[in-house]
């Protein structure tokens, strides 16, 4: 009886070691896939109200609160980099003309560094 138990221990240990190695490998693959997905550069859009805009900061940041679905509020904070388009109607405007309380459509992308603005359209009130 003891002879059988001693023979099964090494094989059980081997199974545990292989299982642990597979868990580590899968966890590493998951984090790799997450970083690839995070930098997908697909454009997202939110329509809502400007909560804050820090035009004087470096880099400038805008925070927009909108609606996702019927009952779910969403808040997006994104960095405004050189090259982002800011318009009111069809006219280009400067970032310092965007204020808290303005109704906007914000288009942004997810990058490895966070969210980056592609365009801001300020709606006429």
pLDDT in tens, 48-93: 999 999 988 899 999 999 987 788 899 999 999 999 999 998 899 9
What pLDDT does 56 receive? 87
What pLDDT does 16 receive? 52
Q: How confident is the model at residue 112 (pLDDT cuts 50, 70, 90)?
A: confident
CATH number for 43-122: choose from 2.40.50, 2.60.40, 1.10.3470, 3.30.700. Answer: 2.40.50
Output the average pLDDT for the chain.
79
Q: How far apart are CA 19 and CA 21, in angstroms?
A: 5
**Residue at token pair 């454009």:** 43
- Write the CB contacts of 27 (distance below 8 Å, at least 6 apart in sequence): none
Region 22-42: what's the mean pLDDT?
50
What 3-state DSSP class applies to 62?
A: strand
The domain segmentation of the chain, as residue ranges, is 1-38, 43-122
Flag whether pLDDT at 17 surpasses 80: no
Q: What letter would DSSP give residue 97?
A: G
């Amino acid at each position: 009886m003891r002879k059988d138990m001693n023979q099964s221990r090494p094989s059980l240990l081997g199974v545990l070691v292989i299982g642990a190695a597979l868990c580590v490998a899968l966890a590493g693959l998951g984090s790799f896939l997450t970083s690839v997905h995070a930098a997908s550069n697909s454009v997202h859009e939110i329509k809502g109200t400007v909560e804050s805009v820090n035009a004087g900061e470096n880099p400038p940041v805008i925070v927009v609160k909108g609606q996702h679905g019927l009952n779910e509020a969403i808040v997006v904070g994104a960095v405004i980099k050189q090259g982002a388009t800011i318009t009111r109607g069809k006219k280009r405007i400067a970032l310092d003309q965007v204020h808290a309380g303005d109704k906007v459509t914000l288009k942004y992308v997810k990058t490895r560094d966070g969210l980056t603005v592609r365009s801001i359209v300020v709606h006429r009130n």
